[in-house]
Chain A
Amino acid sequence: MQVDESAAVGTGAPSRAVRDFEAGLVRRKVMVYVCQAVFGIVFLAFWQWASGRLIDPFFVSSPSAVFGKLYTWLMNGELYRHLSITLYATAIGFIIGSTIGFAMGLLFGKFAFLAEVLDPYITALYSIPKLALAPLFIIWFGIGIESKIAVSASIVFFVVFLNTFSGVREVNPIYIHATQIMGASQWGVMRTVIIPSATAWVITGLKVSVPYALVGTVIGEFMSSNRGIGFIIAQATGLFDTNSVFAGIIILAVVGAIINSILKATEGWLLRWRA
């Protein structure tokens, strides 16, 4: 019984069984990474082989041409110049949208009457594809970075707002009462019960909205801009330069994957208490 209990909470040195179990997990993980790498290499090799043999490179370019392009951009500073502006707009939009969304979600979650009154309007606003607002934002904020920030902020806002709101409504009232009896102030309840309880929802909202924030910025750049990854892709499309189009798409894919894995790790850590 003593052994069981200490193992359950990870105190003391890990036993042999624990070490074997963990080694098994590591082996599996390594196998997954190896297979992922093999899959990627096979895919690139097929693309390289097919380009020019099966399909005209004018349409599908080829890995060597695309990576050549990427290398050139990396070296001449173009990559940094365009990627930094796209990431900057996405990040600022994300921060503005999630901060306002989180605050409003908490507020509406606390004032159920207000939430009920405004419910149909919120649903209506939510139903608008946010990208349809992009032209409007360009009129309001001009073709500079502000309009891109506005697009991504508006996307992130709604997802975070609605998730925070649901999270607050979902809080088990037992926790609220129990902590109040123990002496928690309003802020104490907010800090120790409502916010942590809503975290699972908020994180889900953030995870869903980050890729959209990136999409929002890029779409904004498609429409009108003179810098950014979206601008590169739009400009290259106009010139039938498929190498550059693919290079731009790959940059977006890699950036999206990196952001997602950061969020996933954050989520795993924040929600480590969950069963």
Chain B
Amino acid sequence: MAGAAISIDGVDKRYIGRGREVVALDHVSLEIEEGEFVAFVGPSGCGKSTLLNMIAGIIPMTSGSIMHEGRKVTAINRHVGYLTQADSVLPWRTVEQNVGLPLEYRGMPAAQRQKRVAEMLALVDLKGFDKAFPKELSGGMRKRVALAQMLAYGPDTLLMDEPFGALDAQLKLVMQQQLLRIWQEQKKTIVFVTHDLAEAIALASRVIVFSGRPGKIKYVEEIKIPYPRDVFKVRFLREFETAYDNLWRELSPEIAKGEDL
């Protein structure tokens, strides 16, 4: 088990609500190596967010276990950075106060914090918005604030739930390239949920396809494109096309199945 950053072992998740049981995840097992960039794709409602929530320790699993960096996850996991699907930026704090929040919790002195926050805002292309409140930003900008906040304190494992979904096509490419650079420079482990197959292939070293409800791992595709990658150019490579075909073949019936429900 050495080398595995996250090891998910036979995890089931059943939600109980209003007298019924919903099986969200059915016996999911997966090993994610240290330094790996893994993408999750699957029809909506197949339990991708549920799995990230369990790795982050926000919700308990029904059975099975998750180990992260050699520790069993049983409560809030403070060793990950989590960019949630829902908006988690605090509306009563300005952009810079939000980005500096994790540093504030760590007791970093204000001057040092300010410098770090400015760097992070430059990184996510939000210079000049430091004094703005979240209500003044678009959804995509708020996502970038959350990203800057997560990168500010530098957790080794990043869980990212559809982080670039709300961005326009160009900015999305820019952010993807930044993320790849940070991942390589800082040797992070990234679990990245997306509904964009091209994004998954361009970024990840491994793409995991989930089946529709109940969520199961249906297929795994190793992406052979070597790093460093240029997200603008990868889509013209033959390996990209092959991966896309394979993934689409596995994914499309699941999406159709989801529609029936």
Residues of A within 8 A of B (CB): 5-6, 8-11, 174-175, 177-185, 188, 192-193, 196-197, 199, 272-275
Contacts and interface: CB of A to CB of B under 8 A. Distances in A.
Interface of B: 56-58, 76-78, 80-82, 84, 86-88, 90-93, 101-102, 104-106, 128-129, 131-136, 149, 153
Given A5-B129, A199-B92, 11 more contacts: A174-B86, A179-B101, A181-B57, A181-B58, A182-B149, A183-B78, A184-B101, A272-B133, A273-B91, A274-B91, A274-B135
A196 B128 contact: no
A175 B78 contact: no
Question: What secondary structure prevails in chain A residues at the interface with B?
Answer: helix
Contacts of B90: 175, 179, 192-193, 196
Task: Sort A-B residue pairs by CB-CB distance and give the 8 closest, nearest first.
Answer: A178-B88, A182-B102, A9-B132, A196-B92, A183-B105, A275-B135, A273-B133, A273-B92
Contacts of B91: 273-274
Contacts of A177: 56, 58, 76
Given A174-B86, A193-B90, A273-B91, A181 B135 contact: no
A183 B106 contact: yes
Contacts of B58: 177, 181
Contacts of A275: 135
A180 B88 contact: no
B132 A184 contact: no
Contacts of A188: 105
A274 B86 CA distance: 18
Contacts of A199: 92
A197 B92 contact: yes
B92 A180 contact: no
6 contacts: A179-B101, A180-B78, A181-B57, A181-B78, A181-B80, A274-B91
A130 to B, nearest CB: 32
